Amino acid sequence: MAKPAPTFYVLHGADEFTRAETLADFKRRLGPPDTVDLNTTILDGRKTTLAELRHACDAIPFLAEKRLVIVEGLLARAASQRDSLVGLADYLLRLPKTTRLVFVEDKVLPASHPILKLAREEAQGYVKQFDPPDAKALPKWIADRVAKHGGEIEPQAAAQLAAVVGADLRLLDQEIVKLVTYTDGERPITAADVDALVPYAQAAVIFDLVDALGQRDGRTAAQTLHRLLDAGEHPLGLLAMIVRQFRLLIQVKELKVGGANPQSIAKTLGIHPFPAGKLHSQATHFSAAQLEAIYRHLLDTDVAIKSGEIEAEVALDLLVAELASSD
């Protein structure tokens, strides 16, 4: 005998992108979009009462077999309201067979949550947890996503895309679609493609430049600088990015003295965890005095360029050479 289809679902976890895709796919399987939309109710769980939920779920579908009710944020809010959860649990086991009730939660619910336990134990329930991939798993997620869009990607390119965009899966997917369209599925996506098409890649190269300066590697620093110039970056724009990088390094250096880790640095400075980790590492290459001296040198270079004292590209070449050789 076939197992009956669940009538209530719990979709919880921080991976909003995959969770939204799963819900959209679920809606597609319920029937034609116009009919499904006509029979879909979305409730704000932060203020929805059990009576309002029951009213929505008990309604008879209009010209369709199923009615879809989506409730956002109710289970986390009700976690401490025992009486409400008892009434909700009792009702869930009596849901009309014509209703599909989906609870959507943007955080992982505790395993002890009564409705989560009910959904796992009863045939009427279904649970799926959505956790975003960690940094180690992100390149594989990218490769799988590229394949889903009909393309291929080289491992180095997947790692680079993960590094420059980070764990924003929705943004990653947009960039992947752009890259697959660019290569038209005729060849694998390369690191050069990522450099050319992903706007965040140019900013990430600044990290490479500062890494080279921190290691006093003048040759690599100069090559990285001209890689950016050859890609069309304006010299003053590059100088502004370098200034910003060293301004952040000064702040990170001060925070590290107080024992800050990359996570707390990201929160304090309002930046993504990936650049926070890079800055945390880069700060070890410079003393506080060196960073302050470099920052003054950068400002002097900016004044010299804008006053016409020296051409911008020449000024950048001299700047990189001097910073790479300084102790």
Q: In a structure prediction context, what are the per-residue pLDDT tens digits for the chain, which is 327 residues long?
A: 556 789 999 999 999 999 999 999 999 999 999 999 999 999 999 899 999 999 999 999 998 999 999 999 999 888 767 777 889 999 999 999 999 999 999 999 999 999 999 999 999 999 999 999 988 899 999 999 999 999 999 999 998 888 777 778 998 999 999 999 999 888 999 988 988 888 666 666 777 787 787 778 888 888 888 877 876 778 888 888 788 888 989 999 999 988 899 889 888 988 767 678 878 888 888 889 989 988 899 999 999 999 989 999 999 999 888 888 766
Domain 8-129 CATH superfamily: P-loop containing nucleotide triphosphate hydrolases (3.40.50.300)
Q: How far apart are CA 250 and CA 269, in angstroms?
A: 12
Domain ranges, ordered by start, for the chain: 8-129, 138-197, 201-325
**CB neighbourhood size of 234 (10 A):** 11
Helices 262-269, 235-257: crossing angle, 10 deg rounding: 120
**Any residues with CB less than 8 A from the CB of 83 and at least 6 apart, and which?**
none
Q: What is the assigned CATH class of domain 138-197?
A: mainly alpha
Task: Provide the CATH number for the domain formed by 201-325 in this structure.
Answer: 1.20.272.10
Helix locations, 39-121, DSSP H:
50-58, 74-77, 82-92, 114-121
